[in-house]
Amino acid sequence: MKCKRCKAAAEVHVRQHSSAFCRACFVVYFQRQVERAIHKQHMFSADEEVMVAVSGGKDSLALWDVLQVLGYRTVGLHLALGIGGYSTASTTRTEAFATERGLPLVVVHLEEEGCAIPQLAGFTNRPACAACGIAKRYYFDKLAFERGVSVLATGHNLDDEAARLLGNVLRWQVDHLAKQHPVLLPTHKRFVRKVKPLFRLSEYETAAYAFVRKIDYEVDECPNSSGATQLVYKDALNRIEAVMPGTKQNFLQDFLRLGYPVFARSVDSPPNSCSQCGMPAFAEVCSFCSLRREVDSKRARRATARRT
């Protein structure tokens, strides 16, 4: 197969678009796809500082790379989750990436905040991924607000978004469907705009991009994610995609075109402010404060039990 742009020997095959590229042209194609998503969806403008949530994995580092190449002003945000060797390695790679390119990076160690993921999960009956999701959302919102940026970008790719959509549809989570969009506008004074510039690019494409650009990312997946339902949905979609290329892309794009506007209309009132921390909350306290309360009371109870 030949490269679609320069007719040299192709090395990266993009099945969903039935095209192939040489390495150099694939990089151009990938960066243009991101640029197009940013413009078409009005994600942010050239004069805004963009906070990029970086885990140290391929997607978020590929995103940070592209934004830098395209000339956007960025600041990285990394949460050290405290999940053993996986977290240490992810933090090291993220810091190395930032140092090498002279990019600003904010790192928050959840262990120092008294809420490393294993601690949070160990003191509640929630699965680790649920506790992790709550902590991540909270710190992303809080740190973006404190930094004073107007936009936060995450590295969610097409596979992530399609899997999430499938999960939401299978359980008809109407309130989640109303918020599944590559651009979420703030509905509270402490929220910033949240965007997903990689939402049209598959996991295969981001992996290929990270490889071609020689990005040193953390290859290991989070040890907690092995049984995650998200992976079951991804696997199911990959099987369909193998037989019917383009399914994932159509599933997501048609939802955004036809389904999202309907669900978004049904969304209820905006959040109020958490009575404890002031961040957005859909109850009296936000999900994170409620999780911390639960953890603190169980921790205290266990300590008392040990003393008696």
The footprint of Zn ion (CB under 5 A) covers 3, 5-6, 8, 22, 25, 274, 276-277, 279, 286, 289
Shortest gap between Cβ of 21 and Zn ion (angstroms)? 6
In this complex, which beta carbon is closest to Zn ion, that of residue 116 or of residue 286? 286
Strand-strand pairing, 12-14 and 19-21: antiparallel
CB of 108 to Zn ion, least distance (A): 16
Q: Which of residues 1 and 244 has its CB atom nearest to Zn ion in the complex?
A: 1
Minimum distance from residue 137 beta carbon to Zn ion (Å): 11
User: Structure tokens of 162?
Assistant: 């399609």
- Residue 3 vs 165, nearer CB to Zn ion: 3
Indicate the residue among 141 and 218 with the shorter CB distance to Zn ion.
141
CB of 119 to Zn ion, least distance (A): 18
Q: How many CB atoms lie within 10 A of CB 148?
A: 9
CB of 73 to Zn ion, least distance (A): 30
Per DSSP, the chain holds a count of helices (H) and strands (E) of 12, 10
Q: How many CB atoms lie within 10 A of CB 231?
A: 13
Cα-Cα-Cα-Cα torsion 208, 193, 70, 204, nearest 10 degrees, comes to 10
Tally Cβ neighbours within 10 Å of residue 305. Answer: 8
Give me the sign of the Cα torsion angle 142, 144, 150, 152: negative
- Grouping H, G, I as helix, E, B as strand and the rest as coil, residue 183 is strand
Residue with Cβ nearer Zn ion (61 or 274): 274
